[in-house]
Structure 1
Amino acid sequence: MPPTPGPETQGRLTRPDGEHVAWKRVTGAGPTLIWVGGWRSDMEGTKAVHLAEAAKKHGWDYLRFDHFAHGESSGEWTAAAIGRWREDLIALIEAETGEAVILIGSSMGAWISLLAAVALPDRVKALLLIAPAPDFAHELMWPRLEDHVRQAILREGFAGIDDGTGPHRLTRAFFEEARAWALLDGPIAFAGPVRILQGTADDPVPWRHAMRLTEALTSDDVELTLIKDGDHRLSAPRDLERLTEAVAAVRKRSMA
Structure 2
Amino acid sequence: MADRLMTPQGRDLAYNKSNGTGPGIVFLGGFKSDMDGTKALHLETWAKAQGRAFLRFDYSGHGQSSGAFEDGCIGDWLADAAAAVEGLTEGPQVLVGSSMGGWIALLLARAIPERVAGLVTIAAAPDFTENGFWEGFSDADRATILNRGRIELPSDYGDEPYVITRRLIEDGREHLVLNHPLPLPFPVRFLQGAADADVPVDWAMRLLEHAEGDDLRLILVKGADHRFSTPECLGLIEASIEDVLHRARR
What TM-score comes out, normalization by structure 1 length? 0.92
Structure 1 unaligned regions, length at least 5: 1-8
Q: 2:146 aligns with which of 138, 150, 154?
A: 154
Q: Deviations over 1:102-123 (max 9, x none)?
A: 1000010000010011111111
Whether the 8 Å contact between 2:129 and 2:172 is mirrored in structure 1 is: yes
Equivalent residue number for residue 50 of structure 2? 58
**Paired residue secondary structure (2:225):** coil
What is the identity, as a one-letter code, of the residue corresponding to 1:106? S
Question: How many corresponding residue pairs?
Answer: 248
Q: 2:36 aligns with which of 38, 44, 55?
A: 44
Q: Residue 215 in 1 paired to residue 209 in 2?
A: yes
**Paired residue secondary structure (2:118):** strand
What is the identity, as a one-letter code, of the residue corresponding to 1:95? G
How big is the shift at 1:73?
0.8
How big is the shift at 1:221?
0.7
Q: 2:181 aligns with which of 182, 187, 205?
A: 187
Q: 1:69 aligns with which of 46, 51, 61?
A: 61
Whether the 8 Å contact between 2:3 and 2:16 is mirrored in structure 1 is: yes
What is the identity, as a one-letter code, of the residue corresponding to 1:73? S
Q: Deviations over 1:85-128 (max 9, x none)?
A: 11111111111111111100001000001001111111111000
Q: Deviations over 1:152-206 (max 9, x none)?
A: 1122111222222422421111101101111112220221111011011111111
Q: Deviations over 1:25-73 (max 9, x none)?
A: 1211111100000011101100000001101211111100111100011
Q: 2:233 aligns with which of 239, 246, 251?
A: 239
Equivalent residue number for residue 135 of structure 1? 127
State the distance in 2 between where 1:11 and 1:127 align: 25
Q: 1:1-256 residue pairs with structure 2 within 5 A?
A: 10-145=2-137, 147-165=139-157, 166-256=160-250
Equivalent residue number for residue 5 of structure 1? none
Equivalent residue number for residue 4 of structure 1? none
Give % identity.
Answer: 41
Compared with structure 1, are the counterparts of its residues 138 and 240 closer, same or farther at alpha carbon in structure 2 (3 Å cutoff)? same
What is the identity, as a one-letter code, of the residue corresponding to 1:208? D
Q: In angstroms, what is the RMSD of aligned CA positions? A: 1.5
**Paired residue secondary structure (1:230):** coil
State the distance in 2 between where 1:145 and 1:45 align: 29
What is the identity, as a one-letter code, of the residue corresponding to 2:62? H
Structure 2 unaligned regions, length at least 5: none
How big is the shift at 1:144?
2.9
**Paired residue secondary structure (1:122):** helix
What is the identity, as a one-letter code, of the residue corresponding to 1:63? L
What is the identity, as a one-letter code, of the residue corresponding to 1:57? A
State the distance in 2 between where 1:168 and 1:138 align: 16
Equivalent residue number for residue 3 of structure 1? none
